[in-house]
Amino acid sequence: MILVFDLDDTLYDESTYVKSSFKAVARYLSQKYSLTETGILENIIQVFNEKGRGHIFDVVLKKYNVYTILEVKNCVSVYRKNTPQIKLFNEARDVLEILSGYPKYLVSDGNKLVQSIKINALGINKYFKKIILTHRYGIKHIKPSTYCFNIIKKTEKC
């Protein structure tokens, strides 16, 4: 038996990553512009809840009259490079430990830098024979593509 796991919302609550990274952006903006971190964070979360992920930083930066394309890029960079405060679901940790005798793989979509940071923050490398970040193989190989699963099949000779 070969076990393949996903990362986000399977092994941990992805909303904790989002909140942690929004907080990092709020901290960055508050320090750079002498603004209230709590107020910025509340605005970021409000825009996220109302409009989704699309242009959160554009909207917030315009509200504080500090909008530039470069500043949006800076916020995205802070968001993506943040070492998040996240943890495995207790049940996920239990399952990974109980199934320690089986070959386990992690296949995850998303920005490869962000996914690597999450994996390191969770400290889960030890549980997996191989971690496959689909974006390393090109966007055409994200799930539901079977490309990365075929890598596992080849590795396991099945």
Please tell me the predicted confidence (pLDDT) of residue 53.
Answer: 86
pLDDT in tens, the chain (158 residues): 999 999 999 999 999 999 999 999 999 999 999 999 999 999 999 999 999 988 999 999 999 999 999 999 999 999 999 999 999 999 999 999 999 999 999 999 999 999 999 999 999 999 999 999 999 999 999 999 999 999 999 999 99
Q: What is the pTM of this model?
A: 0.92
Q: Which residues, 6 or more positions from 132, have their beta carbon under 8 angstroms from its beta carbon? A: 105, 106, 107, 108, 148, 151, 152
Q: Is 9 helix (H, G, I), strand (E, B) or coil?
A: coil
Q: Report the candidate in 5, 3, 9 with the shortest Cα–Cα distance to residue 124.
A: 5
Please tell me the predicted confidence (pLDDT) of residue 29.
Answer: 98
Question: What does the radius of gyration of the chain's CA atoms come to, in whole angstroms?
Answer: 18
Contact 44, 56 (CB under 8 A): yes
